[in-house]
Amino acid sequence: MIIVAVEDHRRAILVRLSAMFIENGFKVSDPFLQGLVTFDLLARRDREKFVVKILYNIDTLRSDNSMELLAISKFMDSSPVVVGERSSGGLLEDDLVYFRHGVPIMSEETLRDYVEGQKPFIFSGPGGYYVSIDGRKMREIMDQRGYSIGYISSKVGISRRSVSLYENGSAATIDIFFKLEELLSGEIRREIDVSEYAARYSPPAESIPEQDYFRSAIISLMKSAGYDITLLKKTAFDAMALDAVKSLVFMGFLDMLENASNKIQTIKKVSEFMEDEALLVSRKIVDRDNIMGCPVTNINELRSFCERGELVELIERKKNAR
């Protein structure tokens, strides 16, 4: 019963977030797609995009889930956000960003404020709350006021090295931050931009068992065709591939065509929502060009078109075939 109640609560948040994004001019993905674990919702408004995961307790966010969320967000050029209700320490506070494994986490209300243009600047870290300092603004104000590092150090009661670190953008504890702002009589806070965390994420090298020829072959072929590719484990699509001009392909690997309709439907809906391409790769030769509108190929055909540099043409021809 507890699990059901938590799931109902999570779904209610999902519905509210969908409505919130729509109210703010975003398009949102189908909130009840099947086969998604890493994320629950996609939202886009022009070039601004979010990949949202909803959790009741943020302590359940595992490292492998976080890495996959960051990888997906990076390939989609999107902002990763986990929306949580509580942690082991109690309910999440509003106007505050938490982090787990490099992923930004917010309360529902904080995300609403963020989307509406009120970005938070305080984050929770080991031992307390912190604010990232805008070092450039801090140096400008110090120059305008004629304040030296030594003067700031003595007035605030911190070391000269700490002042230098803040000038270079290091975070300060919240009490030190407010002392600095009061002394400088200027705003030196740096708002938290959640898009930064996916952009600077570097996925680890892919590790595929040698006996998994199917996936190894796909990875090698896509790389030979000039695509950057990442494998995924906790979502309906098995990989995402990105070419040099940032054209994205959502890939599904099919061991069997039977009982794959939910997987294929989710791949199709996500790729259409993001206005990108989909490609299914089957272990076996198939007698059709697409399934539910998703282009489908096999290893031999994929190899032939990759070697000729005609993967885009393959996808387009199969997508439009009748």
Residues 286 and 275 sit within 8 Å (Cβ to Cβ): no
Residues sharing a CB contact under 8 Å with residue 42, sequence separation 6 or more, in sequence order: 28, 29, 49, 50, 51, 52, 76, 78, 270, 273, 274
pLDDT, tens digit, for every residue of 239-279?
Answer: 999 988 888 999 999 876 667 889 999 999 999 999 999 99
Distance separating alpha carbons of residues 117 and 159, to the nearest angstrom = 35
Q: Does 121 score more than 90 pLDDT? A: yes
Distance CA 263, CA 237 (A): 7
Question: Is residue 4 over pLDDT 70?
Answer: no
129-184 against 205-320: fold identical = no
Structure tokens at 94: 């509003």
- Which of 307, 104, 18 shows the shortest CA–CA distance to 299? 307
Specify the pTM: 0.90
Hey, where are the domains in the chain? 2-120, 129-184, 205-320
* Domain made up of 129-184: CATH architecture: Orthogonal Bundle (1.10)
* Answer CATH for 2-120 from 1.10.260.40, 1.10.287.70, 3.40.1350.10, 2.60.40.10: 3.40.1350.10
- Rounded mean pLDDT, 295-312: 91
**Under 8 Å between Cβ of 237 and 270:** yes
What CATH fold (topology level) applies to the domain 205-320? Trna Endonuclease; Chain: A, domain 1 (3.40.1350)
Position 2 scores a pLDDT of 52
Q: Which of 1-10, 195-204, 298-307 has the highest mean pLDDT?
A: 298-307
Share of the chain above pLDDT 70, in %: 95
Output the pLDDT for position 91. Answer: 94
Average pLDDT over residues 134-139: 94
What pLDDT is recorded for position 151?
A: 95
Average pLDDT, the chain: 91
The 3 state secondary structure assigned to 174-236 is HHHHHHHHHHHCCCCECCCCCHHHHHCCCCCCCCCCCCCHHHHHHHHHHHHCCCEEEECCCCC
More confident call, 65 vs 208? 65
- Return the residue matching tokens 């489908």: 296
- Whether 315 and 302 have beta carbons less than 8 Å apart is answered as no
Mean pLDDT of 23-38: 92
Helix (H, G, I), strand (E, B) or coil at 131: strand
Rounded CA gap, 247 and 235, in Å? 20
